[in-house]
């Protein structure tokens, strides 16, 4: 199954050049009389800035807490053999995560959370979770979809 993302302009579904090329390549590689289904659906509600900020803040806080509990410093991020004695800052960790788990938009530009789509942000968080688990043995739980309801108690 392949998915292509475009926008509606003047009543027509338009794909970016990259998406159009990928769609054409996909169709070209199908054999003979292969039956296909093309479905259009409206993209879901976009994330709010507050949701993204909260989620990213929880991820960063979890990692920094683990680093502190383990006595780790910037040498862990910089892969240095000896401790530096310099605590990992929020800003440094954020920049590191953007470099370790980069996200590129359709134009090939590297983007940060404020410019990501919901799909890109979800993948970014999954990449961070996987990186943290594999490189640092740090578990970052899935976001709780019912966090608002639990806060009301």
Does residue 136 contact residue 76 with C-beta atoms inside 8 Å? yes
Domain parsing of the chain, residue ranges: 1-41, 49-145
pLDDT band at 153 (very low <50, low <70, confident <90, very high): very low
pLDDT given at position 43: 67
Specify the DSSP class assigned to residue 43. Answer: P
Cα–Cα distance list, 25 to 9, 18, 19, 54, 68 (Å): 23, 11, 10, 39, 49
The mean pLDDT of the chain is: 84
Dump pLDDT digits (tens) for 102-122. 999 877 889 988 888 777 888
The percent of the chain in helix, strand and coil, each rounded to the nearest 5, is 50, 5, 45
Q: Which helix (H) or strand (E) holds 133?
A: helix 118-136
Dump pLDDT digits (tens) for 17-65. 888 888 888 888 888 888 888 887 776 655 566 666 677 888 999 999 9
pLDDT band at 73 (very low <50, low <70, confident <90, very high): very high
């Amino acid at each position: 199954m392949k998915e292509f993302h475009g926008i509606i302009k003047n009543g027509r579904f338009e794909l970016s050049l990259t998406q159009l090329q990928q769609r054409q390549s996909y169709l070209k590689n199908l054999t003979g009389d292969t039956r296909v289904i093309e479905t259009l659906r409206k993209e879901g509600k976009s994330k709010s800035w507050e949701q993204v900020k909260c989620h990213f803040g929880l991820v960063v806080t979890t990692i920094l807490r683990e680093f502190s509990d383990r006595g780790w410093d910037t040498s862990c991020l910089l892969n240095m053999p000896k401790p530096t004695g310099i605590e990992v800052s929020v800003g440094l960790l954020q920049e590191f995560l953007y470099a370790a788990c980069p996200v590129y938009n359709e134009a090939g530009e590297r983007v940060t959370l404020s410019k990501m789509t919901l799909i890109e942000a979800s993948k970014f968080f999954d990449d961070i979770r996987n990186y943290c688990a594999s490189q640092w043995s740090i578990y970052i739980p899935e976001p709780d979809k019912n966090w608002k309801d639990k806060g009301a108690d």
